[in-house]
Structure 1
């Protein structure tokens, strides 16, 4: 459970990522309807809600995969509502996906190195004019990738092809890959989905460790125990709207949350 002292400290933190009256509709369907919230520097914020609540669409809006119909997305105080995902990565926003898709035939270290930003070797002419610079950057990137694989307990498999990994190990690889871009905030899409209990403990520990290094997290998760253990605050969505926020214990007792889950596909203690 996130402790109260750390929650009080984070309440004073600056906003890393914000949504202001965000709406996204597809024809007559409002997937996200007038949602506003802040993700504070250094916190782990959970986003839960019954199936169809609009959580994934909200993530897509924040990441830049989908543009809002109206409203504003702010990243470190800058309006990024019209920017594509790759521009937001450059501003320090990283994202993982519920189903990781590493390049199966590349090694783990190669998969992680691909996420390095601003490599001189990406420009053809530089490879001819400054080969020593390119080589030095590649060595540095490989060492950084190896350090990140060590962080997520995959260094022993660094030179194995990604196809050998289990589902839980692929989640850890994706966490290392997103860290390669030095994000200030990471959007985690169901990190516990399809992961066995042993690897889930590893994932929880690594999220905590990365958070202690100063990285902010916003996560969608169906595993309420994981949310309770990790998150300083929890937001609850239902029918495209934000209906409640507070600690995990507070939102679990809120009548609006209980009603949303009882009217949906899941019970409060089972899914989000």
Structure 2
């Protein structure tokens, strides 16, 4: 696929994901106001800011859950501002959510397999005309799903229903599920939220491992310790605008950031 974001051999001069002068209005409210930034291939980029800063709206815009009022979003250099979320998944964009919602009565391995892309068995006639191909693809998907569950340390629960998982384990399952679609970049929405300290260390380690394999991350997170440990760069939003960017230490010392967090910015 010529338009798909390049994977592990990505051109480091070409941003994996970019927002250019993006605006999103909801009636008279401007939730995102003229925001521009690039996500570089191979990095872990953090997006932080006080509650109401516009971070989640920005994620929804990047993922295609909502469309911008104006401005452009590029995925691997291709303009995708008008494309729906499923089209962006096909171009190499994955996303997790702050509150994971796996299918509770399916096993972990079944939940992960559901994210496999381009399966022949999705077409009804193919199940009758080429059953051997459908069976081979399903076998390969099950093998890959098992490997991903091992990667996120959930392999011992592979055949248990997802309803038995804790909140932190659900975050790990969602990470495995998004990896099933072979993303070039993953948008992580508050991976530390509601996670105990032990599982948080596992999540941090798995994000590092996946990033070292060549996958780029953009994450929203309120846990500043996690951001400091993981992120190569940090963007700060406040009141719908991009306030500043830099290393975690640089933005922590920026007076504008201090004012945004302590001065009551919404």
How does the TM-score come out when normalised to structure 1?
Answer: 0.93
Contact 2:14 2:77 in 1 (8 A): no
1:107 maps to which residue? 107
Instruction: Tell me the residue number matched to 1:4.
Output: none
- Structure 1: distance between partners of 2:46 and 2:143: 32
- Alignment check: 8 A CA contact 2:239 2:265 kept: no
Aligned counterpart, 2:132: 132
Q: Which residue is 1:196 aligned to?
A: 196
Equivalent residue runs for 1:15-30 within 5 Å: 15-30=15-30
Match of 2:85 in 1: 85
Deviations along 1:31-87, one digit per CA (max 9) or x if unpaired, are: 000000000000000000000000000000000001000000000000000000000
- Counterpart of 1:206 in structure 2 is 206
Structure 2 residue aligned with 1:7:
none
1-side partners of 2:124 and 2:77: how far apart?
A: 35
Structure 1 residue ranges, 4+ long, deviating more than 2 angstroms after superposition: none
Contact 1:185 1:218 in 2 (8 A): yes
Task: Summarize the alignment of residues 93-172 of structure 1 with structure 2, pairs less than 5 Å apart.
Answer: 93-172=93-172
User: Are 1:109 and 1:146, in contact at CA under 8 Å, matched by a contact in 2?
Assistant: yes
TM-score normalised by the chain length of structure 2 = 0.95
Unmatched segments (≥5 aa) in structure 1: 1-9, 267-272
Aligned partners of 2:52 and 2:126: how far apart in 1?
A: 48
Which residue of the partner structure matches residue 75 of structure 2? Answer: 75
Query: Any idea what SS the aligned residue of 1:124 has?
Result: coil
Rounded to whole Å, the distance in 2 between the matches of 1:214 and 1:162 is 28
The residue number in structure 2 matching 1:219 is: 219
State the 1:14 CA deviation. Answer: 2.6
Deviation (angstroms), 1:29: 0.6
Q: Tell me how far 1:27 sits from its aligned partner.
A: 1.1
The Cα RMSD (Å) is: 1.2
Does the aligned pair in 2 maintain the 1:51–1:264 contact within 8 Å?
Answer: no
Q: What is the Cα deviation at residue 13 of structure 1?
A: 4.2
Structure 2 residue runs without a partner (length 5+): 1-9
Q: CA deviation at 1:265?
A: 7.3
- SS of alignment partner, residue 15 of structure 1: coil
